[in-house]
Chain A
Amino acid sequence: AAGVIQSPRHLIKEKRETATLKCYPIPRHDTVYWYQQGPGQDPQFLISFYEKMQSDKGSIPDRFSAQQFSDYHSELNMSSLELGDSALYFCASSRLAGTYNEQFFGPGTRLTVL
């Protein structure tokens, strides 16, 4: 079965650089969620999109922005990177109208800021 695809899997950036993370949801899933997991921490919700519109917002810094495109893939744009942005970034997708609306998680993108 198709799963959530995230790219790249690993990314190394310098401070103050920008980074773009991509997420390709499971086919026919209409909702995408982004989570950030710092070292030794539980995943924290950042932002979500339903049908290409922002649906919910969590602890996402103003330096970050995200969008969902017409093909339902999503991109998380991170600017002015800081050392503290080093984390594992997960994307999850779900089908809002689905029976259980279960979120399926991608493998994550590990971002290292030097």
Chain B
Amino acid sequence: KQEVTQIPAALSVPEGENLVLNCSFTDSAIYNLQWFRQDPGKGLTSLLLIQSSQREQTSGRLNASLDKSSGRSTLYIAASQPGDSATYLCAVKGTGGYQKVTFGTGTKLQVIP
């Protein structure tokens, strides 16, 4: 059974700082890994998707990397802004069956102005 863990559970940084969020998964047989953002009480916004054959994806100030063999992914946020404050979830899609997604435990980020 796939288990996905995110460290740290919560993070508070001053505005402008660069930061890294970590995601680890136990089963390296994955199809892809996706990073989401969730604002309190709101839905999931997809940020980046990395296919199992890829090493990284970039979108604006965000960069996600994937090391499938070690079961790790990182989300790098450059020049953080107060609007980045949210919970960030990584989600791993397995290769078996119809590829349901297993979500991580989330990192709650607060960017202080």
A: residues with CB less than 8 A from B are 31, 33, 35, 42-45, 48, 50, 55-56, 58, 88, 90, 92, 96, 100-108, 110
Interface size class of B (residues with CB under 8 A): 20 to 34
Kindly list 6 other residue pairs between chains A and B, CB separation below 8 angstroms, not including A43-B89, A55-B97, A103-B101: A35-B101, A42-B89, A45-B100, A48-B100, A101-B31, A105-B44
Contact partner of B46 (CB less than 8 A), chosen from A31, A42, A88, A105, is A105
Hey, which chain B residues are within 8 Å of A33, CB to CB? 100-101
Task: Report yes or no: A101 in contact with B93, Cβ–Cβ below 8 A.
Answer: yes
Task: Report yes or no: A100 in contact with B102, Cβ–Cβ below 8 A.
Answer: no
Contact partner of B49 (CB less than 8 A), chosen from A43, A44, A102, is A102
Q: Report B13-53 residues with CB < 8 Å from chain A CB.
A: 31-32, 34, 36, 41-44, 46, 49, 51
